[in-house]
Chains A and B, each alone.
Chain A
């Protein structure tokens, strides 16, 4: 059998039901194998779209996403999705074609040093040097991508090796002596954490994307409600704890709620779970949570004490550790009444500083209202993807996510153009659920070509463009921190998104009236197939509240 036919067998053995990709010269053998493989392949219009679609698929389903590209420019077009998957710990296997081995290192046509270029942004990579190695490399790639802290793994296959004949034997194991992620958590440390929690007067649970990745949401809820622990989540963790909930403080960080940020600031004990103390969370590091001791639970030991020194480090995944922690915590017999004063303080912040905005008095659509209307129109039950910018923050603030894997966005890398292809991937992976993309008019243009993919394959995503004609977040920063000197942020009203939608064979709508917005959204959602909705919103609205970059939480504005 050819190595590429073995590749298909390996994908099936890994349970792959769909992949995203684009063929080219160096992966012609692979695409020949697709003809008879019985694996659904979705032809994208740009490799970056394919990569983000694989990410969206992985985030929505919890399974490993797969993206294919050819050598050279095909592979370099994958760099952004690979880096994005690295930053947000998304399990994706990227399989690239490479020039024939005799051409390697000669600057051959469409040759790029894919392994070298991607090395800083992959969890691991495999350069196939003998065709016989391919099946094992594929299985090891899947194993590495999905286990421990998930991430992107790349397999680069020279064209001549991919078509070579091999003796294919199914591979049932992995041989990775240098890769043994620890998920269980040290029992002694967990007990110590339970005792610290029992002693805490002002505790906060700070949960991140690691809870979602570990499918640890139920354990988080059980742990948090085993007492009245206040819970906040990072942008990546939204949905890991249901919103709204009596113990839910809202998102924390730069555009988080005051209740969440002030609680972190005054906490005496912070229990970080699957979160990495990113600068968008901590603000000025030296003034971050100055009164707190830290329990840090993470499957990646290198995250513990990287930015904030931990008092109780626990290496393990959220699901395993929280399940044990709740048992240990209950056994301490801690008195919930000790948290009364803390809750009084938190309730004070909640009442004084709710999320809010000044609504229009006419038909103008405020961007915040747009999110609330979408929440209402979807009953809060959609999978929502987003691009990056103001619309992303408003979506995070105003769409209450009741469950994990409903909120899919690019948090770490902050990739504009992520939302539309990610929605496409999510919709392919979760065909029974409504998938909406909340996009910016700037961001959506960075991967709008995938509308063609959606139209051709009838992938029924509903894309809602929050159109203010600006690169809105950059405009906001120029207004607030650069004396209002707007520099290259005005996008005008180009393109005509309704016409663009129609050109791609997608239903296009334009909405400008607040009064009918919920009904109009319901109409868009009820429309068969992919829909692109151009929602005209207030042009110069700012995202608040906000911790200015490099400032402590106490300095929140707006």
Chain B
């Protein structure tokens, strides 16, 4: 059979192949990326986009988690302060009971109760980053308005919730009325105002009624704190879990997108060798001709 030997054409094909492999390896080493386009590995491309979307969602939940944690910490702080103040009210009320208490002491106790009432009002009306914490979803309204000894709840019974992971949310505002009044007939501020008056009047029955109401407010606040604490612990746990999930997704993404540098450098060396070999092969083969021997 007649064999036609064309070292240039056959060699060029080998050079192009080696050159292409060299360029790919060089590009991977330089960029650190395994994928240069969807055509390199369609499935990896598809999965990498999915992993990035997962990472995006996890990051969004982490940000929401941090934001919610800040708000819950603020609410926690306020509620803790309220329990202290309610305890102080109970102490003041109890110390003003009995016939042995002097009018001066009663007046001082009444003044303290009124002072604590104002402080509790300030607590309930506290805000975080411009939003009221205890007005339900009416975060732009002062929760309790004071109009000459009458306190009116301006919030609502709804709460603002933030999604902290898929299908799970946490309340970042509080229905203030549930704490301040609950199922009682009067709100805490009216109760405290009446208690101060009862102390001044040495009205033991009224003082006891007031102290009972304060006790219920204390319990409601403690319940709210307990619920809040559970949410905060969940957020801590979730933050840790989100971080773990993100690391796992990031590892998967990196496996899909990024190049193994050691492997890429090895491939670059191999491609370089192949390229040189192809050039040398063409150079050697091209010199072979019968013409050189027929002189």
Q: Do A and B come from one complex?
A: no
Residues in chain B within 8 A of chain A (CB atoms): none
Residues in chain A within 8 A of chain B (CB atoms): none
